[in-house]
Structure 1
């Protein structure tokens, strides 16, 4: 049987404290980091770390124990599919508390509690938050160059196989176009003089 907490509890009664910790843990797993008072963060840390430890091994028994606390099914899914496997190699220390100074209204000491990011967990959060990569742009010199394509003999024009040009081929064809234009200018100038 767990020993009762000595002193004042969060919220006043034991049942209210359990609800507060469950809501804080749900918010922590949903967002990855939350800002709260230092007292709540210190109470939440071991509570959340026990839940993450259970989420490292996805069994029916562990899911049933965690669902007693985390009622939101999407957060439960995130905990067992992303956070738990990302922390599989860590023996503990899944959360970090950082003090941020007093709250403006009542001067309560505030802290940020966050999940220490593992390799897989950080990759999933970055990929979901990052914008899609922009397409590479084409230079004006590339537009001026024309790339010759080979047409398969006997095939209709729509089904012709073409190979994409590499940047070296495009640069070489651009240089050839420039040389051809440079060669054409002196001939025209010689014709004008004659």
Structure 2
């Protein structure tokens, strides 16, 4: 029984699974978007978030830890020079999973996993008016516009 064992096995033994995850992390960080199955993407998200957190730290020890997982030196460099600083102010949630149609051969659910592009802003927009007044103003403007159209006809 697999009580308290985290992570999915994905139909592979441990060494094959670890190698597959390393290859997928390297590909995702290199291309910033890959297509895979839903179960693989959910497991990949955990490893990628750890790597980006190492990239945000940016010290030598973090670079060596990332090099143990990522197999290409240029991708490690990209992680620490481009991707890490991009997510500097973001507290987490570096990836997005978008569902696609099922694969034709075995009907496996396909997804696109990609790095989030837009800048994160923790600030909350405040309006000078309460929300109810903003909605009421929009409704009255729409009503005025429709009455103007009726009188013009």
TM-score, length-normalised on structure 2?
A: 0.72
Is the 1:102–1:110 contact (alpha carbons within 8 Å) kept by the matching residues of 2? yes
Q: What residue number does 2:56 align with?
A: 56
The root-mean-square deviation of aligned C-alpha atoms, in Å, is 1.4
* Partner Cα distance (2:5, 2:108) in 1: 25
CA distance in 2, matches of 1:77, 1:4: 33
Query: How far apart, CA to CA, are the structure 1 residues paired with 2:49 and 2:9?
Result: 20
Tell me if structure 2 keeps the 8 A contact 1:86–1:118.
no
Partners of 2:33 and 2:115 within 8 A in 1:
yes
Please tell me whether Structure 1 or Structure 2 has the larger radius of gyration of its CA atoms.
Answer: 1
**5+ long unaligned stretches in structure 2:** 120-153
Equivalent in the alignment of 1:4: 5
Unaligned 5+ runs, structure 1: 120-194
Q: How many residues of Structure 1 are paired with residues of Structure 2 in the alignment?
A: 116
Give the TM-score normalised by the residue count of structure 1.
0.57
Pairing 1:69–2:69 present: yes
Is residue 20 of structure 1 aligned with residue 20 of structure 2?
Answer: yes
Query: Per-residue CA shift, 1:167-187, capped at 9, x if unaligned?
Result: xxxxxxxxxxxxxxxxxxxxx
SS in 2 for 1:68: helix
- Tell me, in whole angstroms, the C-alpha distance in 2 between the residues paired with 1:89 and 1:95: 15
Where 1:9 maps in the other structure, the secondary structure is coil
Q: Counterpart in 2 of 1:80?
A: 80
- 1:28 touches 1:114 (CA, 8 Å); kept in 2? yes
